[in-house]
Amino acid sequence: MSFTLYVGPQHPSLKEPEHFKFEVEGEEVVKADIRLGYVHRGIERAMQDRSYPQNVYLAEHICGICNIVHSATYCQTIERLAGIDPPDRARYIRTIILELERIHSHLLWLGVAAHEMGFDTLFMLSWRDREKIMDIREMISGSRIHSAMNTIGGVRRDLRQAHSLKITEVLDEIEKAAERYLEIFASDRAIIARCEGVGILSKKSAVDLCAVGPTARASGVKVDIRKEDPYAAYEETPFEIVVENGGDVLARTLIRIREIFESIEIIRRALDMLPKGPIRERFVPQVAKAEAVCRSEAPRGELLYFAMSNGTERPERVRIRTPTYANVLSWQEMFKGCTIAEIPVVMWSIDPCFGCEDRVTIVDLDKGKTYSLSRQEMRKWSASTS
Amino acid sequence: MASAIFDVIKNLFRKPATVKYPYVRVEPPDGFRGRPIIDKDKCIKCWLCISVCPNKAISVDRETEKPRIWLGRCIFCGECASSCPTRAITMSKQFELATFDKEKAVSR
Amino acid sequence: MNIEGVGNLLRDFLDEFNVTGVRRTSALIKKENLRSALLALKRSNVDHLSAITGVDLGDEILIIYHIDCGGGELLNLKVKLPKGNLKLPTITDIFPGAILYERDLMEMLGVEVEGHPDPRHLFLPDDWPPDVYPMRKEFLEEKK
């Protein structure tokens, strides 16, 4: 006899509002149903009221973790629509910041995955390494999260020699750290016990349900948009597509750690080959009637933007299909057969970002100690800054 | 979990990763996009900043007749600063902008 | 499958077939031939449906199926539906991955997808008024 278990929308595991309905028999989950729409903001409709350059920022604010890939894909789609090509230096700079974003997203994922398993030490260590990437992003673009670097026709800021040196230094440190994480995840018995054989998605299901990104690659589907439909400078910076065959949480974890190594290689090649020249091409705001589709490989999977213009300076239609949207059906499939205790681990394993949210997930840490600042102390440091 | 014991012991000898903010200040790097500052003497009233702002955060200030940026709507993208022909708007390094007083959350 | 292969396979079903750019092709099809064309594609191992888009063009609604034919080739299969008769057959038995995209079409544009296994709201709340479709042009007029 089955029993229905509701999880959410105030989540115990993800700090994002979604509603799950699990039908369980004893400890085993038989069916899962996911309810979306808690952070639906009507962005596709809002884009029809704003001009093309203003929409770059609306696209960027869809998600905090993967904001660069959203604005880059939007800019590429409008560049295709208007028939302009960004200069070479801009394409290489886009590749560098896109891969830096992939590294930061995977390190964030790694930390929260370790936290879900109860391994808080690894959570702290991986987020400490992630801070180095965030400092680089602040140095290059002016802000840790919303970089505002992409614009239609190219990028807004240039990469200086001093920046390249610092990036190379940090990449060496991240590479050593990632090697250590790979060792830990591949050999630690407790992690393997929690991840191996859990949340299995077979290759047939992954293909039928049109899964994308690391979720599909962990089930043996060898697809990566950076190789199939190259954009930015990915044709000139070769890399390997990382595939695993397990289809379980362990496979999805190992893929993300191994992708960090590939990203580091891509950034190193791009920095070596960075051409000189302008960083921006002129864009005339009125776009004649046309249609364009562009896809890119976000850290979570294939991101698709479709735009249609109507001769004015506002788009007729912009369609955004985010990778988590494509993976929801596979997600429901993965829960079948896992126990209730494994639910948080499986939930986080596809790296969900609902409709891509606009804030990074914040984790509260219970230090076991609380402290408070008196009003005088707060006034003192606040007065010293204004 | 025991395999990470060596990392834990190594960490005992590393210096802490956290900065004791707010007692220790960290200077943001150059090019940081903080609060936009308006230099009224340089402004030539072309109003390019108003048309470029993605979020309609800039309006004409009634008293000074120069731009007025409401920080509640500003997304700190820097489009106003990059499009200003006289560099009247610059992005400063101020980021501690939380306040209870709405009048303070304005740049003009 | 390369794009010439796809063009030959679907020659009898399509009204139009144009290669519009590098790795981009656009094709127009009548809704009666839609299922047979998609079945033919699925049998030839073209099995990744990237997205389904709906656009309100005024007096008709354009539905675009973005299909990845392998090797990065994207086929935009278009179906036009007159506003008086917004019925479309479901493709969820051929491409199970289309369940959510068709739910999105149903709630945002008011297209009736016949035979859909789960016609609930996807993003809109339960107490959203019926017959109000946010992506239609009329919605924009009402708001003004």
Report chain A's mean pLDDT, rounded to a whole number. Answer: 86
Residues B1, A119: C-beta atoms closer than 8 Å: yes
C-alpha span between A169 and A233 (Å, rounded): 22
The answer, yes or no, to whether residue A73 has pLDDT greater than 70, is yes
Structure tokens at A186: 């591949």
pLDDT digits (tens, 9 = 90+) for A15-27: 677 788 888 888 8
Residue A301 in contact with residue A106, Cβ under 8 Å?
Answer: no
Q: What pLDDT is attached to residue C29?
A: 93
| Closest-approach residue (CA) in chain C for A325 | C100
Inter-CA distances, A380 with A143, A374, A386, B23, B24, Å: 27, 10, 11, 10, 13
| Closest-approach residue (CA) in chain C for A328 | C100
Q: In terms of Cα–Cα distance, which of C100, C49, C109 is closest to C81?
A: C109
| Chains with ≥3 CB–CB distances under 8 Å to B | A
Which residues from chain A sit within 8 angstroms of residue C26, using beta carbons? Answer: 291
Number of Cα atoms under 13 Å in the Cβ half of residue A50: 20
Distance (Å) from the C-alpha of residue A128 to the closest C-alpha of chain B? Answer: 7
Structure tokens at A9: 């929308």
C-alpha span between C19 and C76 (Å, rounded): 10
- CB atoms near residue B93 (< 10 Å): 14
Residues C140, A293: C-beta atoms closer than 8 Å: no
C-alpha span between A167 and A165 (Å, rounded): 5
C-alpha span between A122 and C74 (Å, rounded): 41
Inter-CA distances, C41 with C8, C20, C77, C94, Å: 11, 20, 12, 10
Backbone φ and ψ of A112, nearest 5°: -70, -35
Q: What is the DSSP letter of A149?
A: -
Q: What is the DSSP letter of A73?
A: H
Across the strands, what pairs with A151? A154
Distance (Å) from the C-alpha of residue A207 to the closest C-alpha of chain B? Answer: 34
pLDDT digits (tens, 9 = 90+) for A39-71: 888 888 899 999 999 999 999 999 888 899 999
Number of Cα atoms under 13 Å in the Cβ half of residue A188: 21
Distance (Å) from the C-alpha of residue A223 to the closest C-alpha of chain C? Answer: 9
The answer, yes or no, to whether residue C62 has pLDDT greater than 60, is yes
The answer, yes or no, to whether residue C58 has pLDDT greater than 90, is no
Residues A37, C124: C-beta atoms closer than 8 Å: yes
Interface check C124 vs A, CB under 8 A: yes
Structure tokens at B91: 């992005």
Distance (Å) from the C-alpha of residue A293 to the closest C-alpha of chain C? Answer: 8
Interface check B72 vs A, CB under 8 A: no
Backbone φ and ψ of A24, nearest 5°: -115, 145
The beta strands (E) that lie in chain B are given as: 36-38, 58-60, 67-70, 89-91, 106-107
Domain limits of chain A?
Answer: 39-336
* Superfamily (CATH) of domain A39-336: Cytochrome-c3 Hydrogenase, chain B (1.10.645.10)
pLDDT digits (tens, 9 = 90+) for B60-98: 999 989 999 999 999 999 999 999 999 999 999 999 999
